Chain A
């Protein structure tokens, strides 16, 4: 399958306030300007609660900015309706979560096939691709295992295979190794690096682990809903 091209992503004065005006109002992002060229590997660091996940959700079109705009290749998509954004997420974004979020009632293979099914990939093609992906993440032979039968490292491998299912140009990983031990962390980082490289995809990596951010060339630092550092290695 032809990978969907990585878009140039631009956040323009993007803010996100939860429960605006309400008793639990939280200003999670306070006017972020950011441009991510295609194929870049970017880490987002900062203390817990500073708005990293919120930023990632805006980039990946899971959430809409309270004000400001999110553009893909110059097209304002951030404030589009849920239906449009869902379609873009399905076809062009791969999400990897800290707690894996595999569907517990589905096998490893079914989890990987789920996004393809939604994208109406024909069954034989789906099957072939899922096998290829599970092999790529080193889980051939575990296709029929349910998530509870897998180790944390294995679960995250399935989640990475699922994120790659529709060959997205944009990979978003939210503390992908937060629940893993050191050995698994290294293996998952290697895997992420490898799959990204072979697809020339953009990778945005949220972490507060310096070991993780080493695979990135550009490092953002956040504090209290704002970007306070933006360093690109030579």
Chain B
């Protein structure tokens, strides 16, 4: 028995109660899915950023747009204090041939081995051999002060997915070329493998190779001046700093500014900035999702108000009797309020469970990016609690509407 004997939420008009619970459940499930999946993806990206081994990244507007990458890397290391590594990276899709097969499109990353390794974050660190077995740790031999006349090692590392797909083993040869034509390909020695971290990009990035920066530049025509469109090109230069600077945003920003001064025409950002931007973008997105969900929630609450109103209408006689006996209006209000809150709470529980199950089943049964995103979902207790509290508070509005109508019932009329 509810305190004022107002029937109890589920004792009568069960179908209406079930429908109201379902409507609120659906209204709650939507934001649960949106917020937890959206928040999960942002958190994942954030974690990726924070797990990076570099803290400052230089990028250019054009494709492969950084010029004089080797020289720049040296200059940064020699002139900017507290920098520990400056790693130019050139990423270009090329074609690979095995002794019998190919061509296979493959993502090639040209790096300076001894600079690349320190910029790996803790999660990637274990995926690569250390040091990289590419023969020429500083890439200075082949680069030879920008003349590219030094001896190339023709060593290459292949990703484990490509290894298992192609059957190429360490010690085998692999022919690499800028176009799908074996006659233009150069023979490389496979000297090692590296793992590919699970990522949102899925298998597209999984077929990859790592080779000396100068090798890739020459192969793709981004190497020696003046024949190159962009001489000594790279896509990014990732810069690591000493630990004390890495964890101090203002010190990091000072270093960032020094690097920026060296390369005024390129973009230089620190990962804390990016992390902050991502964080604020993610909270904006969460707000957007909640705003979107407010439509559903409004419908759910309207439905609740209607059900409560119908219940008041059906209980006219009982409410009239209560009032005739002298029961105070607040006791009648309390009963309706309790009914509303019970229904809203049940709806919220149904919504939480349904949202959770929905995300879980998407993570289990869906495919591709959708599945990946769902599997990253984070069910944040404070956000979900805020959602439930919000629903309960708003249910007071619906109850208020019904209460108003209950207190307007004319006693003599209701008892006729």
Those of A97-115 within 8 Å (CB) of chain B: 97, 101, 103-106, 110, 114-115
- If the complex has contacts A103-B318, A106-B5, A110-B5, are A118 and B327 also in contact, measured as CB distance less than 8 A? yes
Q: Which of B317, B318, B325, B327 has the most CB of A within 10 A?
A: B325
* 0/1 string, B188-214, CB within 8 A of A gives 1: 000000000000000000000000000
Q: Is B367 an interface residue, CB under 8 A from the partner?
A: no
Q: Smallest Cβ distance from A77 to chain B, in angstroms? A: 13
**Contact of A83 with B328 in the complex, beta carbons under 8 Å:** yes
Given the interface pairs A105-B5, A105-B12, the reply to whether A93 lies near B326 with Cβ below 8 Å is yes
A27 vs chain B, min Cβ distance (A): 15
Determine whether A63 belongs to the interface, using a CB cutoff of 8 Å to chain B.
Answer: yes
Instruction: Produce 1/0 per residue, A153-176, CB < 8 A to B.
Output: 000000000100000000000000
A86–B328 CB distance below 8 A: yes
Q: Which residues of B contact A83 (CB under 8 A)?
A: 328-329
Does A87 interact with chain B (Cβ within 8 Å)?
yes
Please indicate which of the listed interface residues A57, A101, A104, A110 has the most CB atoms of chain B within 10 Å of its own CB. Answer: A101
Is A97's CB under 8 angstroms from B415's CB?
A: yes
Q: Is B400 an interface residue (CB 8 A)?
A: no
On whether the beta carbons of B8 and A90 are closer than 8 Å, the reply is no
Secondary structure dominating the interface of B: loop
Q: How far is A101 from B323 in the complex, measured between Cα atoms in Å?
A: 12
- Chain B residue nearest in CB terms to A93: B326
- Select one of B7, B8, B323 contacting A86, CB under 8 A: B323
Chain A interface size, as a band, is 20 to 34
Contacts of B323 in A (CB 8 A): 86
Contacts of A117 in B (CB 8 A): 3-4
| Contact A88 B326, beta carbon cutoff 8 Å | yes
Whole-angstrom CA separation of A15 from B130 in the bound complex: 102
| CB-CB nearest in chain A for B414 | A101
Find out whether the CB atom of A115 lies under 8 angstroms from the CB atom of B5.
no
- Are the C-beta atoms of A101 and B326 separated by less than 8 Å? no
Interface size class of B (residues with CB under 8 A): 20 to 34
Q: Which of B311-326 contact A (CB under 8 A)?
A: 317-318, 321-326
Q: Is the interface of A mostly helix, strand, loop or mixed?
A: helix
Report the Cα distance A199→B1, complex, angstroms: 31
A86 CB, min distance to chain B CBs, angstroms: 5
A101 B415 Cβ-Cβ under 8 A: yes
A90 pairs with B325, CB closer than 8 A: yes
- CA gap between A190 and B265 in the complex, in Å: 106
Q: Does B14 contact A (CB under 8 A)?
A: no
Contacts of A53 in B (CB 8 A): 412
Q: Which residue of A lies closest to B11 (CB)?
A: A105
Is B92 an interface residue, CB under 8 A from the partner?
Answer: no
Indicate whether B331 reaches chain A with its CB closer than 8 angstroms.
Answer: yes
Within 8 A of B (CB), among A67-104: 82-83, 86-91, 93, 95, 97, 101, 103-104
Q: Which residue of A lies closest to B325 (CB)?
A: A115
For the complex, is B257 an interface residue (Cβ under 8 Å from A)? no
Taking CB atoms, residues of chain A closer than 8 Å to B321 are 97, 101, 103
Asked whether A90 lies within 8 Å of B327 as measured between CB atoms, the reply is: yes
Q: How far is the CB of B294 from chain A (nearest CB, A)?
A: 35
For the complex, is A231 an interface residue (Cβ under 8 Å from B)? no
| Cβ B327 vs Cβ A62 within 8 A | no
Measured between beta carbons, the chain A residues less than 8 angstroms from B3 are 117
Q: Are B325 and A89 in contact (CB under 8 A)?
A: yes
A118 contact from B7, B328, B411, Cβ within 8 A? B328
| Min CB–CB distance B256 → chain A (angstroms) | 69
Provided the pairs A63-B411, A103-B318 are in contact, do residues A89 and B326 lie with their beta carbons within 8 angstroms? yes
Question: In the assembled complex, which residues on chain B have CB atoms less than 8 Å from the CB atom of A114?
Answer: 4-5, 322, 325, 327
Cβ of A62 and Cβ of B328 under 8 Å apart?
Answer: no
Q: Smallest CB-CB separation from A163: which chain B residue?
A: B325
Q: How far is the CA of A224 from the CA of B390 in the complex (A)?
A: 56
What is the 8 Å Cβ interface bit string for chain A, positions 111-137, against chain B (1 contact, 0 not)? 000110110000000000000000000
Q: Determine whether the beta carbon of B326 is less than 8 Å from that of A87.
A: yes
Contact A115 B327, beta carbon cutoff 8 Å: yes
Interfacial residues of chain A within 51-72, with CB under 8 A of chain B in the complex: 53-54, 57, 62-63
Q: Which chain B residue has the least Cβ–Cβ distance from A60? A: B324
Whether the Cβ atoms of A103 and B5 lie closer than 8 Å is: yes
Chain A residues near B329: list those with CB within 8 A.
Answer: 82-83, 86
Nearest CB on A from B96, distance (A): 78
The answer to whether B324 touches A89, judged by C-beta atoms less than 8 angstroms apart, is yes
From A62, A91, A110, contact of B324 by CB (8 A):
A62
Q: Report yes or no: B412 in contact with A62, Cβ–Cβ below 8 A.
A: yes
Interface string of B313-356 (1 = CB under 8 A from A): 00001100111111111010000000000000000000000000
Q: How far is the CA of A54 from the CA of B416 in the complex (A)?
A: 10
Find the B residue at minimum CB distance from A105: B7
Given contacts A63-B412, A90-B325, A90-B326, 5 further A-B contacts (CB under 8 A): A62-B415, A89-B324, A101-B321, A115-B325, A115-B326
Q: Could you list some 9 contacts between A and B, CB below 8 A? A: A63-B411, A83-B328, A89-B325, A90-B325, A95-B324, A103-B321, A106-B1, A117-B4, A118-B331
**A interface vs B, CB < 8 Å?**
53-54, 57, 62-63, 82-83, 86-91, 93, 95, 97, 101, 103-106, 110, 114-115, 117-118, 162
